[in-house]
Structure 1
Amino acid sequence: MTLSVQQRLAVTRLVAFDVDGVLTDGRLYYGPDGESLKVFHVRDGVGMKLLADQGIAVAVISAKDSPMLARRMQDLGVQHYFPGTKDKQACIQALCQALGIDAEQAVFVGDDMVDLVAMGWCGVGMAPADAYPIVQKQADLLLSSKGGEGVAREVADLILNAQNQYDSAYALSATPEFERRR
């Protein structure tokens, strides 16, 4: 029996996000000294915190490595951060094994062809609304948010709703403790 996406989200224990095109709008800003700026949406940070606070592991797997990204992951308290990763599927597979999580309990959110193998290995593959066309077609779920415009928050809401944790997660987010826990 094939489970619906909603049923698969209900058993999710790990969400892994690509960065450029998912947590950012995909544009790269270069100055004389190389990459100089990345823009992140505050809602994505809240979404990642909501997931972590409800016991869902959050990972960020990026082919690029930058000081701006490292700083953002530190600010958010992301425990599973893998910069400079060329084989995202092998990375998420190793992380699942280390955490005792089955592939069916993992979600990968990606936007381009390099993400397809990881997306296909996981129980659910998601893509932002503006993902590359073949990725949109192959994703289990095409999100309404564009890259850099709240993708992680939308993913968090979908999973928390599927797991009946939405109300409790948002009740916790309204307390001062939510920000102090990082």
Structure 2
Amino acid sequence: MAQATLAELAARCSGIELLALDVDGVLTDGVIELDDDGVESKHFHVRDGLGLALWHRAGKRSAILSGRAAEVVRRRAEELKIGHVAQGLADKGEAFRAMLGELGLDARQVCYVGDDLIDLPVLRAAGLAACPADAVAEVRQSAQVITEAPGGRGAVREVVETILRAQGLWHNLCEPFRVPAM
């Protein structure tokens, strides 16, 4: 599917209450660093963090559905106040359905951001499918929103801004950051 028209995008965004995210290639640049002791590290972008803070300030919920499991993801999710974290998933579609039941949501209320083949079942089920610019071709074809930024470089922030603008919430959320002219 090509990127949605403005009218289609507005309709899809109107009911979004949960932002569900993959980690590697979405919240991070997809690089997995392992040191000699097997300690894993990842690169997260600060703009994605502020985007999630604004998302939560708007009264919205967030979740992580990750194929890999890593302590650094749990820690970052805690810092960002991401309410639902599921890691080490072999089947993200099954985890998505379980999450919907736990949170009492309909799939149409969820925007999912993924970048690789394992994300396709959730992208196809969610109310709004989004991906970073550098997602694999099959994912880009399934997404209604394709960001300009690659994964781990502000893509999540772009998705948050897109939804909150469509819902008419972005301007007021930015108001505390506006400085009066001197």
How high is the TM-score relative to the length of structure 1? 0.88
| Residue 158 (structure 2) aligns with | 154
Q: How does 1:10-49 map to 2 (within 5 A)?
A: 10-49=14-53
Contact 2:14 2:167 in 1 (8 A): yes
2:170 is aligned with 1:166: yes
TM-superposed CA distance for 1:35, in Å, is 4.3
- Structure 2: which 5+ runs fail to align? 1-6
**Inter-partner Cα distance in structure 2 for 1:55 and 1:133:** 33
- Structure 1: which 5+ runs fail to align? 176-182
**Inter-partner Cα distance in structure 2 for 1:168 and 1:117:** 34
| Residue 75 (structure 1) aligns with | 79
Greater shift, 141-150 or 92-101, is seen at 92-101
Letter in 1 for 2:54: L
| Residue 3 (structure 2) aligns with | none
| Residue 123 (structure 1) aligns with | 127
Q: After superposition, what is the alpha-carbon deviation per residue over 1:123-171, rounded to whole angstroms, capped at 9, x for unaligned?
A: 1111100001111112122111100000111111001101100012223
**Inter-partner Cα distance in structure 2 for 1:64 and 1:129:** 21
Q: Percent identity?
A: 36
Contact 2:145 2:159 in 1 (8 A): no
Two-structure CA RMSD over aligned residues (Å): 1.6
Counterpart selection for 2:92 from 84, 88, 95: 88
Letter in 2 for 1:70: R
Letter in 2 for 1:9: C
**Inter-partner Cα distance in structure 1 for 2:25 and 2:170:** 26
Contact 1:22 1:111 in 2 (8 A): yes
Contact 1:28 1:35 in 2 (8 A): no
**Inter-partner Cα distance in structure 2 for 1:138 and 1:103:** 16
The 3-state SS of whatever aligns with 2:118 is: helix
Q: After superposition, what is the alpha-carbon deviation per residue over 1:43-79, rounded to whole angstroms, capped at 9, x for unaligned?
A: 1111111111212111011111112111111111111
The 3-state SS of whatever aligns with 1:157 is: helix
**Inter-partner Cα distance in structure 2 for 1:33 and 1:171:** 46
TM-superposed CA distance for 1:93, in Å, is 1.9
TM-superposed CA distance for 1:36, in Å, is 2.7
Counterpart selection for 1:109 from 106, 113, 121: 113
Q: After superposition, what is the alpha-carbon deviation per residue over 1:11-70, rounded to whole angstroms, capped at 9, x for unaligned?
A: 101110000000111111122122432110011111111111212111011111112111
How high is the TM-score relative to the length of structure 2? 0.88
Aligned residues: 172
**Inter-partner Cα distance in structure 1 for 2:30 and 2:54:** 24
Greater shift, 82-91 or 112-121, is seen at 82-91
